[in-house]
Amino acid sequence: MIRLLCLLSLLFASLLYFGCTQAAPEPTTGPGPAPQPPTSTGVSYLALGDSYTIGQSVPEADRWPVQLAALSGGQIQAPDIIAQTGWTTTNLQQAIATSGNQKTYELVTLLIGVNNQFQGLPLSQYRTEFRQLLTTATRFAGNRPGRVLVLSIPDWGQSPTGQTYDRARISREIDQFNAAAQQECAAAGVAFLNITDLTRSAAGDPAQFAPDGLHYSGAQMRQWATRALPVAQGLLR
């Protein structure tokens, strides 16, 4: 009996010894949460206009609104565009009305009026309809006029095609239309950016014009986008 008790005591002691000297398990470390895909921080953008906005006779990537987005380095998303060659202020307003677009954008640009001038439509009509378009553009921008940017009308009289027209008259009328647009922008609290001087400086340089000899090349429109970028970024702050 005594021998049995001794054996049991030895067995119990050995169990205590191994239990105390066994290393504590290391805490397990899981792989952690999976990395999240980068989220787009680019702001939404709507470009309104005519042939100069749609980029007549050049690839889509050369359109000035597309170049603006590209130059922003992701700050501005690729644009939605409502524009078509030949549109006047009347045509653009009608197209917007029938588009069904009810979105709100962080940035809206507008470049319109060359076809009003080309077709000899009254300046008074342009002013009235341009004012209406500013209201429409502001609505697209969530009723924030400070998120709308207007670009001045290019002087197409300096293009190769313009050589067959009265260039002095074209320049004079373009200036009148731009003055009206700038006045309306000031009254509405909308930013106005002059690019007309860039188009006049393009005279005599074939690289600045599209193959049709009337519209502008991607190189020329890149100048517009480069000038517009800091203004747009300022509006987005």
* Angstrom distance (rounded) from CA 120 to CA 93: 19
Which residues have a Cβ under 8 Å from the Cβ of 134 and sit 6 or more positions away?
110, 145, 148, 150, 184, 185, 188, 190
Q: What is the mean pLDDT of the chain?
A: 88
Q: What is the pLDDT of residue 40?
A: 58
Q: Which of 97, 184, 181 is nearest to 136 (CA)?
A: 97
Q: What is the pLDDT of residue 22?
A: 37
Q: What is the pLDDT of residue 20?
A: 34
Q: What is the pLDDT of residue 29?
A: 33
**Whether the predicted pLDDT of 191 surpasses 90:** yes
The domain segmentation of the chain, as residue ranges, is: 45-236
**pLDDT digit string, tens, across residues 103-115:** 999 999 999 999 9
**Whether the predicted pLDDT of 235 surpasses 90:** yes
Q: What is the pLDDT of residue 41?
A: 77
Span of 3-12, 128-137, 157-166, 211-220 with lowest mean pLDDT: 3-12
Which regions of 84-195 does DSSP assign to beta strands (E)?
A: 107-111, 148-151, 191-193
**pLDDT digit string, tens, across residues 79-98:** 999 999 999 999 999 999 99
pLDDT band at 237 (very low <50, low <70, confident <90, very high): very high
**Whether the predicted pLDDT of 227 surpasses 50:** yes
* Angstrom distance (rounded) from CA 53 to CA 119: 19
What's the chain's length in residues?
237
CATH topology of domain 45-236: Rossmann fold (3.40.50)
Q: Is 62 left (phi over 0), alpha (psi -120 to 50) or beta?
A: alpha
Whether this prediction's pTM lies above 0.85 is answered by no
**Whether the predicted pLDDT of 134 surpasses 70:** yes
**Whether the predicted pLDDT of 45 surpasses 60:** yes
